[in-house]
Amino acid sequence: MIDSTEQLEALLMQRSLSDPELVAATERAPDYRILPEATVIKIGGQSMIDRGRSAIWPIVEEIANARKSHQMLIGTGAGTRARHIYSIAAGLGLPAGMLSQLGASVADQNAAMLGQLLARYGIPLVSGAALSSVPLSLAEIHAVVFSGMPPYGLWMRPAPEGVIPPYRTDAGCYLVAEQFGCKQMIYVKDEDGLYTANPKTAPDAKFIPKISIDEMKAAGLQDSILEFPVLDLIQSARHVREVQIVNGLKPGNLTRALAGEHVGTIITAR
C-alpha cells in the first residue's frame, strides 16, 4: 500500500503518466472490488446460441434457477454470423476497427434474443450507459444480460497480422469481470474444456482439467479455446486471476460451476 494519498497525488502532478515510480505507486494502491459477489458468464455464440432451442432453453432454465442463489452478469458471443460478416468485410479491405463494429452488432443481436428469453424472470438486457444500473439489477433480480463485444469499435487495437479484431467477446466478458472485481468468470461452450488438440477433429485428444497460462503457451495451446489476448489479460489482472470453461450442453454443469465445483477446465494466471 502506498504511504499516503498525498504522496500519490504529488507524483501524479509532477511526473509523466508513464514514469516508473508513478506506475509502481499506483500498483501499490489498495484494490477495491466493485461487485465481489457477482459471476460473469459468457454464453458462446457459435458453440451455444447458434445451436438454437436445444442448447439455449436448458441454459435459460439453469440461469433462472441459479439467480435465486447467485449474482450473474451474462454476456453473449457473436458466433457464425460474425464470421460470415468478417469474411465479407475483410475481403473488402476494411480495417479491424470496422470489423469490430460489425461483430458487435451480431453479439448485440444474440444479447437481445437471450434477453427476451429471460425477460419473464425479470432479468434485463443492459448496454452502454445502462451498465450503471447493474448494481441495482443484481441487488433486486440477481442477473443482467449484456453483449459480450468490448466497446472498442474503430479504436480496436489491430492484430499483429490480418484484420480480425483480436479483442472479441471472450475478451469483452473477461474485461467486465475484471473491471467490476467479480468473484469468477465462467465460459459456457460446447466442449468439456481444454484438450491437447481439437476434440472435434482429433479423437485421441486428452482432456486437461487445470493448467496455467505459461503451461498453455509452452504447449502451443494458447489459441485453442479462448481468444489469445484473454490469456495476457488474465496474467496482468488484479482481481480475476483464473477462468473456468464448462460444457453448457451438459445440464447442470453451469449450476455446479457457480457453486464452486471444479467442472471442466480451470485456466490460472500462474
pLDDT 10s digit of each residue in the chain, 270 long?
455 677 888 888 999 999 998 888 888 888 899 999 999 999 999 999 999 999 999 999 999 999 999 999 999 999 999 999 999 999 999 999 999 999 999 999 999 999 999 999 999 999 876 678 899 999 999 999 999 999 998 999 998 899 999 999 999 999 999 999 999 999 999 999 999 998 888 889 999 999 999 999 999 997 788 999 999 999 999 999 999 999 999 999 999 999 999 999 999 998
Instruction: Give the whole-angstrom CA distance, residue 193 versus residue 207.
Output: 7
Position 41 in a domain: yes
CB 240 within 8 A of CB 260: no
Instruction: Give the whole-angstrom CA distance, residue 8 versus residue 228.
Output: 34
Total structural domains within the chain:
1
Position 24 in a domain: no
Position 85 in a domain: yes
Instruction: Give the whole-angstrom CA distance, residue 241 versus residue 239.
Output: 6
Position 20 in a domain: no
Position 183 in a domain: yes
Question: pTM above the 0.75 mark?
Answer: yes
pLDDT for 1: 45
Helix (H) or strand (E) holding 117: helix 96-118
pLDDT for 206: 95
CATH of the domain at 88: 3.40.1160.10
User: Would you state the cell numbers that stand for residue 264, as one nine-digit string?
Assistant: 471442466
Q: Is 196 helix (H, G, I), strand (E, B) or coil?
A: coil
- The domain in which residue 103 lies consists of 33-268
Position 235 in a domain: yes
Residue 189: name the closest of 244, 268, 116 by CA. Answer: 244
pLDDT for 3: 55
pLDDT for 83: 96
- Any alpha helices (H) in 15-52, and if so which ranges? 20-27
pLDDT for 239: 96
Position 238 in a domain: yes
Position 152 in a domain: yes
